[in-house]
Structure 1
Amino acid sequence: MPLFPAEMESERLRYERLHPDDFDPLELYEHARAGAPAIDEITEYVTWDPYESPKEAFDWVSTCGEAFDDDEEATYAIRPKDGDRAGELAGLAGLHTRWDRKLAILGIWLRKPFWGRGYSGERAGRLLELAFERLDLEVVAISHDPENERSRRAIERYVDRFGGHKEGVVRNGLVIGGEPRDSVRYSITREEWDERR
């Protein structure tokens, strides 16, 4: 039995593992390729660049599948369960473990039509539950580029809701477009999570 669940749900979202056995990389390429709608806005503050070829999407899905099989991290395709865009790929969410530190790091990117719907916070709640209740981790961390106001607002809302706090600025904590950038880091502990549940 795999350590990470292959599928999960939350109130409005379904999570499916990004794995070559389950996911068509061409669907990812369609939305994450150079020239895709709003791709420059989507990738402005993330650590990856738009795909230049379908092979890059295939390689990424394979990499995610290997990490899933090795019990190191889980990347999920996020899909709304209901509404006018039900079943559509909204974006990707990841939980990256550092087993030696009992730590998980959360990540997410969403396509622009899915911004402003509260999906980031809903996804955080589901992945926090996974980290603390199934994986027995002690700390979950989240970071954003200091200039990314949209992420800051979303992260601060759910970090506050789950009892966590802002740790501070990590100098050169990210690489975006080949350049080191600062990052702002937040964390939530299992004790904080338990108190707010």
Structure 2
Amino acid sequence: MIPERIETDHLIFERLTHETIDLFDLYEIWSSDPGIEEVTEYLPWDPHTTPKETHDLLEEAEANWEVKEDFCYILRIPGSSEPAIVGITGIDVHWGRGLSEERAAVLTELVFETLDLDLLAVFTLEENQRSQRAIEKYIDRYDGQYDGLFRNFRPHNGTLQMLTDTL
């Protein structure tokens, strides 16, 4: 029911698995990619320090997909034999390339059209101003609403407060 691959004008969404990305390539990105510290500042994980951390996250993503708990995609930009990786969605967000709105459109359609769900909740850490601005745009575009703070929802570096908005 959930597509393992989705293509848009600017993005390729591929199910995150050991088959769709080399473990050591992903480890390299998640451990030392330029700007990784800034990217992970507002995410519920820190840069990886060992390939085992990356392996475990891939295993978790595959297991969560199988039990229909999470649907994690690797995001690539099309146009070459080895399309550039720009991020992960479902567990993580892609960062700083202006593609957030397109990602949101695809996932919103997936939630409402394919899964026929009634609610989509979007979360960010309270201090993540860039994500808050992006979410405000989603709310306007999809006639959503701001619902407030979930306290003690998901800890990150000692911070327990997160915002939630619904579409």
TM-score normalized with structure 2 length: 0.91
Structure holding more strand per residue: 1
Aligned to 2:109: 129
Aligned to 1:59: 56
Root mean square deviation of aligned Cα: 1.8
In structure 1, what is the Cα distance between the partners aligned to 2:124 and 2:21? 27
In structure 1, what is the Cα distance between the partners aligned to 2:119 and 2:23? 31
Alignment coverage as a number of residue pairs? 166
In structure 2, what is the Cα distance between the partners aligned to 1:58 and 1:186? 32
Aligned to 1:185: 164
Structure 2 unaligned spans of 5+: none
Q: 2:149 aligns with which of 157, 161, 169?
A: 169
Letter in 2 for 1:186: D
1:87 pairs with 2:83: yes
Aligned to 1:8: 6
Aligned to 1:109: 93
Q: SS state of the match for residue 90, structure 1?
A: strand
Aligned to 1:102: none
Q: SS state of the match for residue 110, structure 1?
A: coil
Q: SS state of the match for residue 139, structure 2?
A: helix
Aligned to 1:74: 71
Letter in 2 for 1:93: T
CA deviation string 1:154-183 (max 9, x = no partner): 111122101111111122333112x13211
Structure 1 unaligned spans of 5+: 95-106, 189-197
Letter in 1 for 2:128: N
8 Å CA contact 2:73–2:88 kept in 1: the answer is yes
TM-score normalized with structure 1 length: 0.78
Aligned sequence identity (%): 34
Letter in 1 for 2:8: S
C-alpha deviation, 1:82, in angstroms: 4.5
